Amino acid sequence: MNRFAELLDRLAYEPGRNNKLRLITNYFRVVEDPDRGYALAALTGALSFKHAKPGLIRDLIAERTDPTLFALSYDYVGDLSETVALMWPKATQSPPSPACGGGEESARHQSRLHNNPPPPTLSEVVTTLRTLGKTGMPQQLSRWLDDLDETGRWALLKLVTGAMRIGISARLAKTAAAALGGKDAHEVELIWPGLTPPYLDLFAWLEGRGEKPVNLDPAPFRPVMLAHAIEDTDFANLNPADYIAEWKWDGIRVQASSGRDAEGHVVTRLYSRSGEDITKSFPDLLPSLHLQDFLDSKLDDSRKPLHTFRHQASFAIDGELLVVREGRVQSFNVLQQRLNRKAVSPKLLKEYPIHLRAYDLLDDGEIDLRDLTFAERRERLTVFVARLDDPRVDLSPMIAFDSWETLAAARRDPASAGAGEDSGAVEGVMLKRRDALYLPGRPKGQWWKWKRDPHVIDAVLMYAQRGHGKRSSYYSDYTFGVWTGTEDDAQLVPVGKAYFGFTDEELLQIDRFVRRNTTEKFGPVREVVHEPDQGLVLEVAFEGLQRSSRHKSGVAMRFPRISRLRWDKPPREADRLETLEQLLKDPALSEASESGSD
């Protein structure tokens, strides 16, 4: 448990992705089975315990500490788990006397004189938490809290409450595990759904001691293929005839995977592009993916699944998740209402009907299609979607073009080039080589994304904050604002925050400007001069705009970044809030009424 606690502790402070990976991989290297497997499970969110709850922890600490001292401490620390971890009284031989902060001195001597029992291992903790009933839980937890040090207690409480909040995604943890055996994260992702904690077979394979685990999952995730952003200079080397173009839909990339398990039951899952199972969030899409009618009619004759049809429940579609209302694709802002929901209410299902726009087929039940060319896969996809014959699943249309100029025109004006009323959900075009195999990751020259030009405004730098890691000494997070109010009484109102888009050289320039023009400091934040004639104008590019009650300005930008430094422009000439409000009315840019209502 102590080593796991050390890992969590270190990860909680480490801002850099590569350094996080190294910390985790190093942990997997030095820690043995099954502890490391349970750590991987904890980091990937694969653990949950029914009877261990935060309320229990509150009760435990109340029994052991002076309420005034606890209140003062909690007030200072600001986090329940951490306060409890820090002020948990050291174990004494006599039972703890309630309402007493004392006893420390004797505990101190005791801990120096006697060997404490060894702290529990992570495996011990996990297996016990899984199996222990409700009544035994308080006593067990307090025993552990007695045996562990501060960091150990903190980690235990994180584990118990299930709220790690240390900035580690499941994907990152899997990547770190893969690195142990010099493997690619995709490979681990591929077999992941068939694995269970503590992943003995996975580690055996990664360390070259065992066979690669077989994914017995009937509906596995297949690592996705990604596109490169195209640059103007790339077109010179590309032949339009080699490519198929589609709209780039502003939704969520998903993979719908289906198959039959050993008992012959159909299993269907939706995965995010990183392989996270998101099926539960979109129950309304599942019936559309079951090939139900087709199979049922065949089953009626034989009353049991015929071997010859078994394969036909198996498929994997790559596509975009969208909200479609009355045949019209809604913007990303609308789709957002369906994301990251714990519970999916009937109202939500009704008001935000989900839709799958298919653009690739990786498996059609007969063979793994990933070794075919895109043109061939696309043909099979067309047949497949027709066979599904469901209004909630359709084919991502192709854009007809014969030259880059025609395609550029389509990209500028999707509405007239075939996207019609759906153009608001188009964020550019995709180019896919006709002969491209389906390769996981981001292979060069196969798929390109060509986004629509972003919207830009001129805003004034108002506050700056230091960044992390390599940028730790630099002011690299910028809050910017636009003008509001009458001309005589114009004021800047913050409209967003950006921390990338600039070059290293520009970062140095802004950093210097911030240091020399600070008007006030609030902890790590500096207020920077922002007067009509004094200040720095930033050209900010962004993808979308949304009404927001959380921001003083009433608007929130999507994906804002610094596109240019306008040293030439006096702040008084920066944009006004009205400009943004005007943009809000542009249907291509926002869905103001919907997103503001929730």
Region from 38-46, 83-91, 238-246, 438-446 binding another protein, contact rule CB under 8 A = 83-91
User: Given the complex with another protein, which of 50 and 512 has the nearer CB atom?
Assistant: 512
Using rule CB under 8 A, residue 76 touches another protein: yes
CA 146 to chain centre: 36
Non-local CB neighbours of 592 within 8 Å, separated by 6+ positions: 546, 547, 584, 585
Site string for another protein, 447-466 (x = CB under 8 A): -------------------x
Using rule CB under 8 A, residue 522 touches another protein: no
Distance CA 216, CA 82 (A): 41
Q: Which two tokens stand for residue 426?
A: 């188009």
Footprint of another protein on 14-53 (CB under 8 A): 14-15, 19, 22-23, 26
For residue 31, the number of C-alpha atoms closer than 13 Å in the C-beta half-sphere is 26
Residue 354: closest CA among 426, 219, 251, 222: 251
Non-local CB neighbours of 584 within 8 Å, separated by 6+ positions: 545, 547, 555, 590, 592
Site string for another protein, 131-150 (x = CB under 8 A): ------------------xx
Non-local CB neighbours of 212 within 8 Å, separated by 6+ positions: 191, 205
Burial class (CB within 10 angstroms; exposed 0-12, middle 13-18, buried 19+) of 110: middle
Site string for another protein, 195-234 (x = CB under 8 A): ----------------------------------------
The C-alpha angle with vertex 367 and arms to 363 and 370, in degrees rounded to 5, equals 55
Footprint of another protein on 563-592 (CB under 8 A): none
User: Given the complex with another protein, which of 104 and 293 has the nearer CB atom?
Assistant: 104
Among 4, 60, 65, 356, binds another protein (CB under 8 A): 65
Q: Please give the helix or strand (H or E) that residue 31 lies within, else none.
A: none
Q: Please give the helix or strand (H or E) that residue 463 lies within, else none.
A: strand 455-466
User: Given the complex with another protein, which of 165 and 434 has the nearer CB atom?
Assistant: 165
* Residues of the chain by 3-state class (helix, strand, coil), percent to 5: 45, 20, 35
Minimum distance, C-beta of residue 56 to another protein, in the bound complex (Å): 20
User: Given the complex with another protein, which of 19 and 519 has the nearer CB atom?
Assistant: 19
Burial 576-585 (b: 16+ CB within 10 A, else e): bbeebbebbe
User: Given the complex with another protein, which of 22 and 212 has the nearer CB atom?
Assistant: 22
Using rule CB under 8 A, residue 10 touches another protein: yes
Footprint of another protein on 95-124 (CB under 8 A): 100-102, 104-105, 108
Minimum distance, C-beta of residue 179 to another protein, in the bound complex (Å): 14
CA 442 to chain centre: 18
User: Given the complex with another protein, which of 65 and 546 has the nearer CB atom?
Assistant: 65
Site residues for another protein per CB under 8 A? 6, 10, 12-15, 19, 22-23, 26, 65-66, 68-69, 72-73, 76-79, 82-83, 86-87, 100-102, 104-105, 108, 149-150, 466, 468-470, 472-473, 515, 523-524
